[in-house]
Structure 1
């Protein structure tokens, strides 16, 4: 469903805001997650209504997420042996998350997520060696089971709420499998893409995507994702870790601000 937009000055002003923001958001997101911190406020700043903002941002970011996932996979930083077990659970979780009538209040959930993501960010700050070396020693029944729980839980979470999903995925994959930041980012990006595209279908079915804005922003985000992924692969964990910390704490600050004001 295409929104009727006059291709006048207002439309191009919106693109001047959204295209650079989308490029930067995708570049950051492909490295360490958290790109929504940049792209969602940009859509709102451009005057796009909240529901259309979420749907259109999901459309644009899914294109970028696919690009980044593909690049990580081609570089050998994605474990297909692992993903065949846990990726379907992400899909199931996202479907349940989008379609469920939630029994947990948004206020309680926001508080819980704020505490968790602050803990993840601060733990990473003070743990000097976390994610800097690849300590993965193979798949076991235990880590596969824990990975399936992680995938199902975060797929569900991303389907109905979303902030910090990328950070939680990276941290969870490092903690469970001993990946370094590069491998955790690669596998996390694939899982995030699956939950993104599931949510995208739901937004599309409900007519909550502005394609006139979403398509040009998606093109910019594809380029941003490609550059960010190349940077992550070349510079490795030493680049990803500080950006991961910054985006985790950024999500926490944004959520705290929303709770207060």
Structure 2
């Protein structure tokens, strides 16, 4: 399809906002994916093109986190491999399968996650979990595989889910968890992008234009996390979870 000028005017500003949110707390896809749909892009093309723009921006925020030392690289390497496998599988499923069952699962999961975030005001575990190295790796790798599969299949909320598992279950501090989340999210984006590219579903011109705005949003958002940490992360995570829940529920009535 050939997008018109209106499509660019709708998608690009919303992708900037989505990328700003995504760099801080994940979940930017719940803004950017509907933006493509609002612009009249068919659902499969929207999911595919969204991966192009989001992957471009995620490169920037990932680089900033790693440059500032906010990543556990030995832990990230197997997590990235798991996410690559999961996301590529999920993306191929998305080309043919319905997402209704997955949405039903999220309607159950999201209130639980929101309760955890609201209860834990600092977005950090009250007491650092003393996990054996093997336990920590098992939690992080499993989460990366499962959530990576979801990211390839549908996407919105991926970074938020990863961040909550890394801090709440694996006992990582918020900045390191954010850095590892970006590495894993980038891997899952690239794997899904490869699958969608081979299918010919990406609207290249619109995706590349949105990528510029995505890069700008990720650059500004990641800088705010580095400076302000949990003060910024928690309220945005809560907002993302509420909006995502509303979006999923509303999808059953349209």
TM-score, normalising length: structure 2: 0.91
Aligned mate of 2:175, from 177, 182, 203: 182
Instruction: Provide closer, same or farther for how the CA distance between residues 243 and 217 of structure 1 changes in structure 2, counting only shifts above 3 A.
Output: same
Q: Secondary structure at the residue paired with 2:27?
A: coil
Partner deviation per Cα, 1:6-38 (whole Å, 9 max, x = no partner): xxxxx3332222221111110111000111121
Aligned length: 253
Q: Which residue of 2 aligns with 1:130?
A: 123
Does the alignment pair 1:228 with 2:221? yes
Cα distance between partner residues in 1 of 2:101 and 2:228: 38
Bigger CA drift: 114-123 or 200-209? 114-123
1:134-173, aligned counterparts within 5 Å? Answer: 135=128, 140-173=133-166
Aligned mate of 1:30, from 16, 23, 46: 23
1:46-85, aligned counterparts within 5 Å? Answer: 46-85=39-78
Aligned mate of 1:42, from 3, 26, 35: 35
Instruction: Provide closer, same or farther for how the CA distance between residues 139 and 90 of structure 1 changes in structure 2, counting only shifts above 3 A.
Output: farther
Instruction: Provide closer, same or farther for how the CA distance between residues 101 and 231 of structure 1 changes in structure 2, counting only shifts above 3 A.
Output: closer
- Contact kept in structure 1, 2:88 and 2:149, CA below 8 Å: yes
- Contact kept in structure 2, 1:44 and 1:50, CA below 8 Å: yes
Q: Offset of 1:202 from its aligned partner?
A: 0.9
Bigger CA drift: 57-66 or 91-100? 91-100
- Contact kept in structure 2, 1:164 and 1:251, CA below 8 Å: yes
Instruction: Provide closer, same or farther for how the CA distance between residues 99 and 18 of structure 1 changes in structure 2, counting only shifts above 3 A.
Output: closer
Q: Which residue of 1 aligns with 2:104?
A: 111
Q: Which residue of 1 aligns with 2:82?
A: 89
Partner deviation per Cα, 1:114-135 (whole Å, 9 max, x = no partner): 2112210122112234327894
Does the alignment pair 1:200 with 2:164? no
Question: What residue ranges of structure 1 are gaps of 5+ in the alignment?
Answer: 6-10
Partner deviation per Cα, 1:140-173 (whole Å, 9 max, x = no partner): 1111112111111111222223232212101110
Cα distance between partner residues in 1 of 2:17 and 2:187: 22
Question: What residue ranges of structure 2 are gaps of 5+ in the alignment?
Answer: none
Q: Which residue of 2 aligns with 1:98?
A: 91
Q: Which has the larger radius of gyration?
A: 1
Aligned mate of 1:237, from 223, 230, 240: 230
Q: Offset of 1:97 from its aligned partner?
A: 2.1
Q: Which residue of 1 aligns with 2:210?
A: 217
Q: Which residue of 2 aligns with 1:8?
A: none
Instruction: Provide closer, same or farther for how the CA distance between residues 23 and 208 of structure 1 changes in structure 2, counting only shifts above 3 A.
Output: same
- Contact kept in structure 1, 2:47 and 2:154, CA below 8 Å: no
Q: Offset of 1:85 from its aligned partner?
A: 2.6
